[in-house]
C-alpha cells in the first residue's frame, strides 16, 4: 500500500507494481470466482479475470439475451457458464454484478449460498448502503468487498485489451475471514485496474450517483442541449451548432484534458479562448453549485435510491425508458451527431 499525495491530500493507493498480477494469482489460486450478471460490468470484469489466468465462471439466467452474449464471448454452458444459483453454489467469491434492481430481486437466491468464508463482491455501494430499501443484508461470516472501476465495463475491457487499465476504488465493508484486504487487492488487479484508491461503500455510491446525475451524464447532456439550442435559435446550422458544442469537446479538448490537465489545455488554446474560458468558468460554477447541493442531498437522503427502485418496479419501466431514449436519439441534435460521426475521416 502506497501513500500518494493528491493535490496536498495523502491517500492510500495500491498499484500493479506493489501488488503484482503474479501475487494476485497466488492469493486467489484456490478460489472460484462467479461473476453474477452479464450486462454492464459483467463482460469486462469476467473476461479480464479469465485472460489474467483466474478461475472464473459466469452465472446468468439461461435463455436471456445476456446468456446468449456470454456464449458468443466464449463462455461454455456447463463448463464455465451456469444458471445463477449453480454458479453461486460453486463459487468461493460471488461478484454480484447484476443491476441494482436485479440485485434486489435475486438476493434471496444468492444469500442462501453465502456460506461461511465466502466473499461477496460488489462494484457499486447501492445495495449495501440503502439496505433499508434493498433488503440486501449479508451474513456476518462472509467478506463483503467492493471494486468499482471508474468507467463503463466496455471501457474496462477495451483498455485491458490495449494493455492499459482503468482506475478503480476499493472498499471493505466486512472482513470476516481476515483475508478481505488481500482478496480485494487481488480482484482489483485481476479485473484490470490501473490503480486502486480507498473508499467505503457509502462514499462510493454517493460519489457515483452524484457523478452520473452531474458532470458525467446528466449535467453535461443538459449543458450541451442548452448551448446547441441557443446556437440554433440564433440561426446557426445544425452542423455548426453540434461541432461547436459536442464534436470539438469530445474529439479535441477532452482528450487533452485527460492527457495533461485543464491548465495545459487552457495554455494551448488561443488567447481569446483562454480569456473567455477563465472569465466564464466561475459564473458557470456558481450557477450550478446550488443544483449540486440539491443533488448531493437527494443522494445522501436515499431519495435518489427510492426513485430508482420505484421506477424499476413499474411493469412498463423498460417501455418508458426506451421511449425516453428514443426521444434523445431522434432529436435534431443527436441525429446531427450521428451524421457528423459518419463523416469523420476514420469512417470515410
Residues with a catalytic annotation lie at 124
User: In the chain, helix, strand, coil percent, each to 5?
Assistant: 55, 15, 30
Calpha distance 165→155 (Å, rounded): 9
Q: 329: which residues sit within 8 A by CB, 6+ positions away? A: 335
Residue 64, helix vs strand vs coil:
coil
Angle between helices 303-313 and 271-300 (to 10 degrees): 80
DSSP string for residues in 84-141: HHHHHHH-SEEEE-S-HHHHHHHHHHHHTT--TT-EEEESSSHHHHTHHHH-----TT
Calpha distance 235→26 (Å, rounded): 63
Q: 125: which residues sit within 8 A by CB, 6+ positions away? A: 146, 148, 171, 200, 201, 202, 203, 204, 205, 208
Amino acid at each position: 500500500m502506497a501513500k500518494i499525495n493528491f493535490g496536498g491530500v495523502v491517500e492510500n493507493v495500491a498499484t500493479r507494481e506493489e501488488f503484482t498480477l503474479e501475487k494476485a494469482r497466488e492469493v486467489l489460486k484456490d478460489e472460484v470466482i462467479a461473476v453474477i450478471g452479464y450486462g454492464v460490468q459483467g463482460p469486462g470484469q469476467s473476461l479480464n479475470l479469465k485472460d489474467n489466468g483466474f478461475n472464473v465462471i459466469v452465472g446468468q439466467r439461461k435463455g436471456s439475451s445476456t446468456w446468449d452474449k456470454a456464449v458468443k464471448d466464449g463462455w461454455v454452458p456447463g463448463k464455465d457458464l451456469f444458471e445463477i444459483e449453480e454458479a453461486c453454489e460453486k463459487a468461493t467469491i460471488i461478484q454480484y454484478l447484476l443491476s441494482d434492481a436485479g440485485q434486489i430481486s435475486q438476493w434471496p437466491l444468492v444469500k442462501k449460498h453465502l456460506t461461511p468464508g465466502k466473499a461477496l463482491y460488489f462494484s457499486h455501494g447501492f445495495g449495501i448502503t440503502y439496505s433499508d430499501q434493498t433488503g440486501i443484508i449479508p451474513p456476518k461470516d462472509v467478506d463483503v468487498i467492493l471494486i468499482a472501476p471508474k468507467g463503463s465495463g466496455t471501457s474496462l475491457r477495451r483498455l485491458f485489451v490495449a494493455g492499459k487499465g482503468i482506475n478503480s476504488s476499493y472498499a471493505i465493508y466486512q472482513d470476516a475471514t481476515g483475508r478481505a484486504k488481500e482478496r480485494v487487492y487481488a480482484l482489483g488487479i485481476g479485473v484490470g485496474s490501473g490503480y486502486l484508491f480507498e473508499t467505503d461503500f457509502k462514499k462510493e455510491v454517493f460519489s457515483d450517483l452524484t457523478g452520473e446525475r452531474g458532470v458525467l451524464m446528466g449535467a453535461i447532456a443538459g449543458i450541451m442541449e442548452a448551448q446547441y439550442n441557443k446556437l440554433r435559435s440564433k440561426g446557426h446550422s445544425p452542423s455548426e451548432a453540434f461541432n461547436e458544442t459536442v464534436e470539438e469537446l469530445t474529439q479535441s479538448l477532452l482528450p487533452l484534458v485527460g492527457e495533461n490537465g485543464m491548465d495545459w489545455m487552457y495554455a494551448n488554446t488561443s488567447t481569446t479562448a483562454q480569456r473567455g474560458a477563465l472569465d466564464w468558468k466561475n459564473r458557470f460554477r456558481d450557477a450550478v453549485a446550488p443544483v449540486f447541493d440539491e443533488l448531493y442531498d437527494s443522494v445522501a437522503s436515499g431519495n435518489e435510491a427510492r426513485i430508482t427502485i420505484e421506477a424499476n418496479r413499474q411493469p412498463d419501466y423498460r417501455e418508458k425508458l426506451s421511449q425516453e431514449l428514443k426521444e434523445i436519439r431522434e432529436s435534431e441534435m443527436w441525429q446531427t451527431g450521428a451524421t457528423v460521426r459518419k463523416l469523420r475521416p476514420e469512417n470515410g
